[in-house]
Amino acid sequence: MFTNALNSILPPALQETKINSIFINRITILTLLISILLNFNILYFNTIGKGIGIFSGLFQITWTASLIELLLLIVCIFILLSWPYVQNLNNLKSSSLSITNSDHYSLIALFSILGGSLLMSSLDLLSMYLSIELQSFALYILATLDKNRLSSAESGLKYFLLGSLSSTFILLGAAIVYTFTGLTQFESLNALISVPLINIDNNITQAFIFGIVLILVGFFFKISAAPFHQWAPDVYDGTPTIVTVWLTIIAKLTIFVFLLGLLDFSFISSLTNYDFSSLLESSINLYNSNFIIKNLLLLGSLLSLIVGTIAGLSQIKIKRLLALSSVSHVGFLLLALGIFSQKSLDSFIFYLIQYSITSLNIFLILLAFGYVINNITRSQDNWNVNLDLNYLVELKGLINSNRILSISLAICLFSMAGIPPLVGFFSKQFVLFSSIESGANFISIVAILVSVISASYYLKLIRLTFFSTPENKEIILNENINENNSTNSCFQAVQLSSIQSYLISVLTLMIFFFFLNPSLLLNGTQLVSLIYFNF
């Protein structure tokens, strides 16, 4: 549709030339680059302070939202640059591999980015719901773009149904809060609940808390936090890898930043000195919304750590394993978010950044391995090729196919497992330090244990890649392809572009050599956390 509209406004001489899908992809990337420049310029406003309200208070521009949005846009550009291409040997023209329709992919991705950017800056129940729906509808479509795969349609339908259910929880919670308070802005709600609860009608208090709990449950669905994670393995496994990376990083990144702003501007900012060690001895009212929200976050963290780790041990499919692994990482993020101290906020932002970088690199490497395994000549009619790795056994012996990619994958998996001196080790260390300092000793011990257990399936992936013999002896290696051999084929096998190679190289070096100069990232996250606490 967009291509036809674009063709209609071109001069007559150019209308007969079909707009290549790569062209649409590059326009999308240029749009994101312009957005990065505009967003970067916002950081120079000295008046931004803790936030600037816009659109009558519906949105709040903060330092954290602006910085994370820069990361979001960069990650989105990396994903779009990693779109697979196939080269036509007859006319030497490039076109997008039809795993999905890349025209639609790029454009729908823009709606997802727009919804996520608006969500991170939302400061009102109305703007919150509209933003999350804008992002969610784009993700529903992305999950079902591969119409030629039954698994894609099945996973997309499941994602749509359960995503709609979670949106219903969010909308119902927002409606309850508005019904009993007459307010939608988070700052106004903060002013209301700052009044001692004894002066407020008990029915209003309970309804307000129930509404907030429903909103949090809805967002727990969205980020696949246990026990609302059941959809994630099926959806991740059924969608193409290029879409799975979008679901894994973009959706979680924006929602976590929104939850951070939600907690800061409304509900638990008054409990920054919350001491878990004196919890049982204190006389905190059980109906205190701050107390309940904190405990919901910590309960979600505990369940996510345990369920994500234990369930991942029995998986035989790669993306199902990574989906359950992401549930465990969500547990670490919820732990840092639930404590909500200056150090935990610092560790939360740092963990969010490293998780995004490491997950992106893992999925880019899996895409690249898919190209290697499928690096055989194909007929012109065989366009709808599935380049995804499905089962763990497909990783067997890939060290013999591409040593650089195998080493990069091992570095990322070691980082996910928390092996020093990689960046993943420091992120888990900071979260655990902040939780122990706040008195959450039990959850900290559980987090340490699940980190050790989860290392087993990361090491299993490395063992299959480096020390196992491939079952398929007919895999043609990249360097053995004869481009002049066009038997029953006019298409060369899918090759890694130089851009994709550079992206994987840069991300791997960032993960591996972080310990040499960590001050840039750590100082930035510490500055953001200090701004939040007005230091």
What tens digit of pLDDT does each residue of 464-478 get? 888 877 665 444 344
Sequence ranges of the domains in the chain: 2-532
pLDDT of 92: 36
What tens digit of pLDDT does each residue of 455-507 get? 988 999 999 888 877 665 444 344 333 334 433 333 333 456 678 888 899 99
What's the whole-number mean pLDDT along residues 4-24? 54
Whole-angstrom distance between the N-terminal and C-terminal Cα of the chain? 52
Whole-number Å distance between alpha carbons of 117 and 132: 10
Confidence of residue 530 (pLDDT cuts 50, 70, 90): confident
pLDDT of 408: 92
What's the whole-number mean pLDDT along residues 433-438? 90
What's the whole-number mean pLDDT along residues 220-229? 91
pLDDT of 170: 94
What tens digit of pLDDT does each residue of 315-359 get? 889 999 999 999 999 999 999 998 888 888 889 999 999 999 999
Q: Is the pLDDT of residue 129 over 90?
A: yes
What's the whole-number mean pLDDT along residues 433-461? 91
Question: Would you tell me how many other CB atoms lie within 10 Å of the CB of residue 291?
Answer: 18
pLDDT of 186: 83
Contact 139, 251 (CB under 8 A): yes
- In a 3-state reduction of DSSP, which class is residue 59? strand
Whole-number Å distance between alpha carbons of 81 and 280: 53
Instruction: Look at the alpha carbons of 240, 307, 427, 267 in this order and tell me if their dihedral is positive or negative.
Output: positive
User: Average model confidence (pLDDT) for the chain?
Assistant: 77
Q: How many Cα atoms are found within 13 Å in the side-chain-facing hemisphere of 193?
A: 30
Query: With b meaning 16 or more CB within 10 Å and e meaning fewer, what string describes 274-287?
Result: bebeeeeeeeeeee
Q: Is the pLDDT of residue 445 over 90?
A: yes
Element (H, E) at 417: helix 403-417
Is the pTM higher than 0.75?
A: yes
Whole-number Å distance between alpha carbons of 413 and 59: 37
Of 152, 293, 130, 298, nearest to 235 by C-alpha is: 152
CA angle 109, 139, 255 (to 5 degrees): 95
pLDDT of 475: 43
Instruction: Look at the alpha carbons of 130, 121, 244, 80 in this order and tell me if their dihedral is positive or negative.
Output: positive
What tens digit of pLDDT does each residue of 24-38 get? 778 888 888 888 888
Q: Is the pLDDT of residue 305 over 90?
A: yes
pLDDT of 535: 54
What tens digit of pLDDT does each residue of 255-294 get? 998 988 877 765 444 444 444 444 333 333 434 566 778 8
CA angle 330, 250, 319 (to 5 degrees): 65
pLDDT of 516: 86
pLDDT of 47: 56
Q: Which two tokens stand for residue 500?
A: 């994709």
Q: Is the pLDDT of residue 206 over 60?
A: yes
Q: What share of the chain is helix, strand, coil (3-state, %, to 5)?
A: 70, 5, 25
* Stretch among 109-113, 273-277, 356-360, 524-528 having the lowest mean pLDDT: 273-277
What tens digit of pLDDT does each residue of 148-197 get? 777 778 888 899 999 999 999 999 999 998 988 888 888 777 777 665 54
What's the whole-number mean pLDDT along residues 298-305? 93
Contact 48, 63 (CB under 8 A): yes
Whole-number Å distance between alpha carbons of 169 and 266: 19
